[in-house]
Amino acid sequence: MHANNEAQALPANEPITPAQRLLGMTLPRGWQVTEKLSKQVEQSGGYFSQGYIVQRIEDGKKGFLKALDYALILRDDDPAKVMAFQTRAVLFEREILRVCRDNRMDRVIEVIDEGSVRPEGGGPSDVVQYLIFELADGDARRQADVSKRYDAAWALRALHHVATGLNQLHGQRIAHQDLNPSNVLTFGNELSKVGDLGRAASFGVAAPHDDEPIAGNLTYAPPEHLYRAVSPEWNARRYGCDAYLLGSLILSFFLGGAMTPLVQERLAPDYRVGNWRDDYASVLPYVRQATNSVLQVLARELPAALPEKLRSRIVTVTRELCDPDPRLRGHPRNRRWEGNQYILQQYVSAFDLMARQATIALRPIQSRVGSSQS
């Protein structure tokens, strides 16, 4: 996870909760709580958690601590219902993170400690549960700023790491379902990891959000989810979603916008989500036409310094991953299999090769820029 250093804004006249009183404490196993973080709408854990920076006294290692705020839950209009949901969500996420750690998923954010603590002066019920994650430098929104003409080689390298992380999750029958730039965590300029598994799905394991029609952020959701045409088949619903979100991430990096909103703004009002009253099959041709329009923009906006063959390959990969028909989504070779057509291994290799090609193509430009600045 990564940090935001702004001051925490609390509602007027609201008492400070136990989860908001951890600053300065020493936690079990020698973690010192050194900094309290502000909340953001997109921050993992949502309204019912508080973030901190912690540092291990033994070796100085830093981490991001997410504390579950039960006191805020009790202020809800239906605290029993919310408490039950949040508790199940925390237990589910903790188990998913353990699976990731035990299987050494090196492109998925790692939980490095967990536990509970009672702040000083608190009552018997003021116990705060927490998870401590490795601390990232930031997320892809800071790195991939189109207005600053970011490095295309970095974007493709990050996509390679994200595809690897998703592939690692899929290998354990886990789907992320909420991939977007805020959940691509960056470590320096060379490493990216998939973060925030709070909306994940695990085959055969019940999650509190399983019955929700759309698990992740509506802005990025695949079109069949938005038009309420979700397949009952697990692979299509879960892995098909991840494939679409991975393709959409390409657009986020190179166009500064996700596939879903870019498509919706190109549709006539009657065909847009919320207005359409017929089935998805009937609106699919129009969604496909809008998707093709977005891909044409991508083809024009890709950096001219990249070889034409590489630019064409980026567009092709985006088209395959973001096909609005989930039956056609994914690598063409995989559609002939009766198993999982959404296997991402080919894209792991493709992004790796494209990142290397972009690095070579952009090296002379970067050298000239460096020389002119010296």
The residue extents of the domains of the chain are 18-134, 138-372
pLDDT > 60? residue 149: no
Q: Are the beta carbons of 255 and 298 closer than 8 angstroms?
A: yes
Residue 243's CB: how many other CB atoms inside 10 A? Answer: 30
- In the chain, the N- to C-terminal Cα span, in Å, equals 35
**What's the CA gap between 303 and 366, in Å, rounded?**
13
Tell which CATH architecture fits domain 18-134.
Answer: 2-Layer Sandwich (3.30)
8: confidence class by pLDDT, cuts 50, 70, 90: very low
Same fold for the domain at 18-134 and the one at 138-372?
no
Q: Are the beta carbons of 95 and 205 closer than 8 angstroms?
A: yes
Give the gyration radius of the chain's Cα atoms: 22
pLDDT, tens only, 73-94? 777 778 788 778 877 888 898 9
Residue with tokens 């239906």: 78
Q: For residue 10, give both structure tokens.
A: 């609390």
pLDDT > 80? residue 109: yes
Of residues 324 and 213, more confidence is placed in 324
Model pLDDT, residue 40: 46
pLDDT > 80? residue 290: yes
pLDDT > 90? residue 275: yes
> 3-state DSSP call for residue 76?
coil
CATH of 138-372 given 2.40.30.20, 1.10.510.10, 3.40.309.10, 1.10.286.10:
1.10.510.10
Model pLDDT, residue 146: 46
- Cα angle, residue 291 at apex, residues 289 and 296 outer, rounded to 5°: 95
- CA 210, 236, 96, 2 dihedral sign is negative
pLDDT > 70? residue 238: yes
Of residues 127 and 284, more confidence is placed in 284
pLDDT > 90? residue 62: yes
What mean pLDDT is predicted for residues 14-28? 89
364: confidence class by pLDDT, cuts 50, 70, 90: low
Of residues 306 and 89, more confidence is placed in 306
What mean pLDDT is predicted for residues 225-253? 96
13: confidence class by pLDDT, cuts 50, 70, 90: low
41: confidence class by pLDDT, cuts 50, 70, 90: very low
Q: Measured over all CA atoms, what is the biggest interatomic distance in the chain, rounded to whole angstroms?
A: 66
Could you tell me what percent of the chain has a pLDDT over 70? 87
Average pLDDT, the chain: 88
**What's the CA gap between 50 and 43, in Å, rounded?**
10
